[in-house]
């Protein structure tokens, strides 16, 4: 198991050294050329890899860009698929869910969605070190898949689509503000009841 992990890691290093990239992780040009990117964990692996993939796809990533991708939450859970005892081999599944928003000018929310990936690894109760490496490999593969899927989502968006979403968000914000103002005026014009006076005894 350890030999297999070392072989996989060695191949990954070799391929990356040759400039190889997974499809959808920085090889395709995006229609969006400028994007702000932020995350709750600003220095986490997911946002770091995503920034690298965006820049590799010709996107200028900087604070103050017209549109902003916000990784709002990343949650990981783990469950047992099969288990035969403390010293036996069992299958575990790691599920990672990444929630994100795309915001426009004025920090208006344009769309919200989430991505989910699942990875299975083997846990060997008699080889805890190897099992930990298996789990770390599964997490790394899941993170790479999240970045790849996010890039595919972004490839489907164009500046024109984002402009339409911006217009819709601005119209909604304007309507909400008008409704709030009307409610305040109605409340101000409503006569207030005098407090009820109890008869003195």
Domain ranges across the chain: 20-166
* pLDDT above 70: residue 186: yes
**CB 115 within 8 Å of CB 97:** yes
pLDDT greater than 80 at residue 3? no
Give the least confident one: 19-23, 150-154, 162-166: 19-23
| Average pLDDT over the chain, rounded to an integer | 82
Question: Which residues lie closer than 8 Å to 104 by C-beta, 6 or more apart?
Answer: 66, 67, 68, 110, 162, 165, 166, 169
User: 158 with 31: CB under 8 angstroms?
Assistant: yes
Looking at the predicted structure, is the pLDDT value of residue 75 above 60? yes
pTM here is 0.72
Instruction: Give the confidence band of 15 by pLDDT, cuts at 50, 70, 90.
Output: very low
Res 200: pLDDT = 63
Q: What is the pLDDT of residue 21?
A: 42
Is the CATH number of domain 20-166 3.30.160.150?
Answer: yes
Q: How far apart are CA 36 and CA 68, in angstroms?
A: 4
| pLDDT score at 51 | 96
Q: Report the pLDDT value the prediction gives residue 197, as an integer from 0 to 100.
A: 60
CB atoms within 10 A of CB 43: 7
How does pLDDT run across 40-56, given as a tens digit for each residue? 888 999 999 999 999 99
């Amino acid at each position: 198991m350890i030999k297999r992990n070392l072989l996989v890691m060695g191949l990954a290093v070799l391929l990356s050294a040759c400039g190889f990239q997974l499809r959808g992780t920085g090889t395709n040009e995006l229609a969006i050329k400028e994007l702000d990117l932020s995350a709750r964990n600003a220095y986490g692996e997911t946002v770091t890899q995503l920034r690298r993939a965006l820049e590799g796809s010709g996107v200028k990533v900087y604070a103050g860009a017209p549109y902003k991708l916000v990784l709002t939450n990343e949650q990981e859970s783990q469950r047992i698929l099969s288990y035969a005892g403390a010293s036996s081999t069992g299958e575990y599944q790691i599920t990672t869910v990444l929630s994100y928003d795309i915001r426009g000018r004025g920090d208006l929310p344009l769309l919200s969605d989430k991505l989910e990936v699942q990875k299975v690894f083997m846990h060997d109760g008699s080889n805890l070190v190897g099992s930990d490496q298996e789990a770390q490999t599964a997490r790394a593969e899941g993170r790479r898949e999240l970045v790849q899927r996010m890039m595919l989502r972004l490839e489907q968006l164009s500046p024109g689509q984002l402009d339409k979403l911006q217009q819709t968000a601005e119209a909604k914000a304007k309507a909400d503000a008008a409704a709030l103002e009307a409610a305040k005026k109605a409340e101000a014009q409503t006569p207030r009841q005098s407090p009820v006076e109890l008869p003195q005894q």
